[in-house]
């Protein structure tokens, strides 16, 4: 199978090549897939894409015209793909539904600990021979109330870690986990979590129902000074409303590994450029905001599983096997 792999980084090549077999001819493109670059897929059977690719209706129409029959996502989220358009053009869409839920859950913990104990600031201070403790005060996690929105595989792992810290864990999801209930996690309404939680961590997909789940109304209801962590999808948070909540002290801390306009920023080295995004510039100006560049998935274990599942998806499609990872 001839596959055009878009948004390729050095690590993508290493892991995909390691688990490729001779039946797949992988051609790597560093640029993202979108309507302007879709013509590069001419002559390929499939495209392999990432969260930074824009696979909208126009892009899919071009892919279909050029003979592409498969879109294989090397990630779990698929909100960047127009599923209906793909179905209309008889293009199958596959994904990696689970690669390493531990990696994302653990990164959410890293954001919490860094924001709380200000280790990133202490690191920079000590490098400048400043060993003062002023403005590095944190708080004990033990005994705090943590709200978890979304208890899929990542949410479950996150809850279990926070229980280990001695936290009271509240959760909200359409489907309640019996495993978490047995361990003492209590399911509550969104409003109850907003009112009670000292820390809120988002682990739900981006859908029309969850788009801007945290907006002006939600921020007005949160416990004053609470911490909000997002390692899921940027569109879950209305950035402008988050900035207002930070300015007025309603939101005490914000840790994000995703951003709603990240496609023009993340996975790129912009150190020599002027960033034209005023919202993220404003976010970076707050001392109580920590931003990481969508690295929650970035562990050896996760990349290994992504490559294995991606290759399995190609093989299942090519061999006419049941497509267990199909997005319908």
Q: Are 168 and 261 found together in one domain?
A: yes
Q: Give the residue numbers annotated as catalytic, written as ranges.
A: 233, 262, 294
Condensed to tens digits (0 to 9), the pLDDT of residues 13-31 reads 999 999 998 779 999 999 9
Confidence category of residue 305, pLDDT binned at 50, 70, 90:
very high
Write down the residue that tokens 């990240």 correspond to.
Answer: 262
- Residue 328 has a pLDDT of 87
Q: Are 114 and 130 found together in one domain?
A: yes
Residue 115 in this model has a pLDDT that exceeds 80 = yes
Q: Are 127 and 226 found together in one domain?
A: yes
Condensed to tens digits (0 to 9), the pLDDT of residues 128-187 reads 999 999 999 999 999 999 999 999 999 999 999 999 999 999 999 999 999 999 999 999
38 within some domain: yes
Q: How far is the C-alpha of 236 from the C-alpha of 10, rounded, in Å?
A: 29
Q: How far is the C-alpha of 217 from the C-alpha of 224, rounded, in Å?
A: 14
Domain of residue 188 covers 101-291
Q: Are 39 and 171 found together in one domain?
A: no
CATH of the domain at 53: 3.40.50.720
Q: Which of 315, 320, 325 is nearest to 3 (CA)?
A: 315
Q: Are 210 and 229 found together in one domain?
A: yes
Look up the pTM and report it. 0.91
324 within some domain: no
Confidence category of residue 196, pLDDT binned at 50, 70, 90:
very high
Q: Tell me how many domains the chain contains.
A: 2
Condensed to tens digits (0 to 9), the pLDDT of residues 235-267 reads 999 999 999 999 999 999 999 999 999 988 999
Tell me the C-alpha to C-alpha distance, in Å, between residue 113 and each of 107, 110, 116, 198: 10, 5, 5, 13
Q: Are 176 and 279 found together in one domain?
A: yes
H helices within the chain, ranges in order? Answer: 10-18, 57-65, 83-88, 101-117, 119-127, 153-164, 178-182, 190-196, 216-221, 239-247, 278-284, 300-318
306 within some domain: yes
Name the token pair of 104. 């994302």
């Amino acid at each position: 199978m001839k596959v055009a792999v878009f948004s390729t980084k050095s690590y993508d090549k290493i892991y995909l090549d390691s688990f490729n077999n001779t039946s797949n001819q992988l051609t790597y493109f560093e640029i993202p897939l979108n309507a302007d670059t879709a013509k590069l897929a001419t002559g390929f059977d499939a495209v392999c894409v990432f969260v930074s690719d824009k696979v909208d209706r126009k892009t899919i129409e071009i892919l279909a015209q050029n003979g592409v029959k498969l879109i294989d996502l090397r990630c779990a989220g698929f909100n960047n793909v127009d599923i209906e358009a793909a179905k209309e053009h008889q293009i199958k869409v596959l994904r990696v539904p689970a690669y390493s839920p531990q990696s994302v859950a653990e990164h959410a913990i890293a954001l919490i600990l860094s924001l709380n104990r200000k280790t990133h600031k202490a690191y920079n201070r000590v490098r400048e021979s400043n060993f003062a403790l002023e403005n590095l005060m944190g708080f004990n996690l033990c005994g705090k109330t943590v709200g978890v929105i979304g208890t899929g595989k990542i949410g479950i792992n996150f809850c279990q870690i926070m229980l280990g810290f001695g936290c009271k864990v509240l959760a909200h999801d359409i489907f309640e986990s019996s495993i978490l209930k047995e361990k003492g996690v209590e399911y509550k309404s969104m409003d109850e979590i907003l009112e009670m939680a000292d820390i809120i961590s988002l682990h739900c997909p981006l859908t029309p129902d969850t788009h801007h789940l945290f907006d002006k109304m939600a921020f007005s209801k949160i416990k004053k000074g609470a911490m909000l962590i997002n390692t899921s999808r940027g569109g879950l948070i209305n950035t402008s409303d988050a900035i207002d909540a930070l300015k007025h002290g309603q939101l005490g801390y914000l840790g994000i590994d995703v951003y709603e306009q990240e496609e023009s920023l993340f996975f790129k080295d912009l150190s020599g450029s002027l960033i034209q995004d005023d919202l993220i510039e404003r976010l970076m100006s707050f001392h109580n905001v920590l931003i990481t560049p969508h690295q929650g998935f970035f562990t050896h274990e996760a990349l290994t599983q992504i490559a294995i599942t991606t290759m399995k998806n190609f093989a299942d499609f090519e061999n006419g096997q049941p497509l267990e990872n199909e997005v319908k």
